[in-house]
Amino acid sequence: MDKKQELEGGEWKMTEEQKPEDAQTLDAEQVEEAVQAVVEQPDDALHSEAALTAAIEEVCKSKAEEFRMLGYEQVTGVDIWMCVSQKYKQIPPLHRVINDVLTLKTNVFMNWLMIRAYTESGPDDDQLPSSKPKRG
């Protein structure tokens, strides 16, 4: 058992040593106000196409930033969206899109990028040897 944790009223509490310096303690009233602010938003604001597009954009940008932190310098949010959305025939619910973006692995993205590079560039006939053998 960790000596830094204490049991108070049936719940484990962090001691002062465990709390990050920048952690804020919210009282019940502040939490309730934050919840009400989200709940009271009109349904149109949560479901408008512009709001959904903005949410997807932010998640894709975040994933691209994560890939850049892993060393993939040239990744953009648009690339992430193109990779994830290529498997959709129509856009699924927001929760599925967000899940697909956030669970995208670097190897899946790099495979998609490699296939895209091969299919978009197309071979030049001048650079490839002829498929028919020359007789002469």
Other Cβ atoms less than 10 A from the Cβ of 52: the count is 15
Residue 5 lies in a domain: no
Q: Which residue in 44, 48, 49, 56 sits closest to 95, CA to CA?
A: 56
Residue 134 included in any domain: no
- Number of domains forming the structure of the chain: 1
Per-residue pLDDT for the chain (136 aa), expressed as one digit of tens each? 444 444 455 555 545 554 444 444 556 676 666 656 655 655 555 568 888 888 899 999 999 999 999 999 999 999 999 999 999 999 888 899 999 999 999 999 999 999 999 888 765 544 544 444 555 5
Instruction: List strand residue ranges (DSSP E) for 3-131, in order.
Output: 5-8, 11-14
107 within a domain of the structure (yes/no):
yes
Q: Is residue 6 part of a domain?
A: no
Nearest Cα neighbor of 81 from 1, 62, 95 is 62
Residue 135 included in any domain: no
Find all residues with CB under 8 Å of 72, minimum gap 6, and list them.
106, 109, 110
Q: Is residue 23 part of a domain?
A: no
Residue 25 lies in a domain: no
pLDDT, residue 50, reads 85
Domain that holds residue 80: 46-121
Q: Is residue 54 part of a domain?
A: yes
